[in-house]
Each structure stands twice: as C-alpha cells, then as structure tokens.
C-alpha cells in the first residue's frame, strides 16, 4: 500500500463486488479530483464486475473530499481523445 504521507485525505477500500469494482485493495485519493467538461465516455470503459460503487462508499469518499476541500485538476481533453477511442468530444 502507498505511504500515508502521500495523501492527506483518502479512503482505503477492500475488493468487494457488492461495494465496488476493484480487484485489489485500493486507496482512493480524496485530496484532488480530475475533471472534464467537453468529452463523453463510452460505457464500455466501465468494469464488468460492476459499473459503479455502492452508496455507502460514495458517501464515504464525498465526506473525505469535503472534509478539508480538494484540488480540482482539469484534464487535457485533447490528449484523452487522442489516447482512447472510447472517449470522444461532445458536440
């Protein structure tokens, strides 16, 4: 697992198909969020284990994100479209 010093706010989540799509224990970084505005993501990018996380995990992550705030990092959308054909520009 990654060092706690790298993250101020995080959620550690065990792999559990009833809660999440993770195949291994996962540390969710709650110090930042990455955003896009003008791209669409094909549903084929979602995992086959489950397409989402359970409500309880979602609320835990949101609480951790909002505890001290977070840094919002806009993604380079041109690069995203260029590296994955399942991500396209929105009209």
Say whether pLDDT at 31 is over 70: yes
pTM of the model: 0.82
- Provide the 3-class DSSP secondary structure of residue 42: coil
Report the alpha-carbon distance of residue 82 to residue 63 in Å, rounded: 34
Helix then strand then coil, in percent of the chain rounded to 5, is 30, 25, 45
Contact 42, 86 (CB under 8 A): yes
The mean predicted confidence, pLDDT, of the chain is 94
What pLDDT shows up at residue 2?
A: 52
The 10s digit of each residue's pLDDT in 60-76 is 999 999 999 999 999 99
Query: Which residues, other chains included, contact 35 with Cβ-Cβ below 8 Å and sequence gap of 6+?
Result: 72, 73, 74, 75
Instruction: Tell me the average pLDDT across 9-37.
Output: 97
């Amino acid at each position: 697992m990654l060092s706690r010093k790298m993250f101020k706010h995080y959620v550690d989540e065990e792999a559990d198909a009833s809660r999440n799509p993770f195949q291994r224990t996962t540390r969710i970084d709650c110090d930042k969020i990455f955003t896009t505005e003008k791209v669409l993501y094909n549903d084929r990018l979602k995992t086959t284990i489950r397409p989402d996380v359970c409500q309880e995990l979602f609320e835990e992550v949101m609480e951790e994100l909002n505890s001290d705030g977070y840094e919002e990092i806009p993604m380079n959308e041109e690069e995203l479209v260029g590296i994955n054909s399942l991500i396209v520009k929105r009209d």
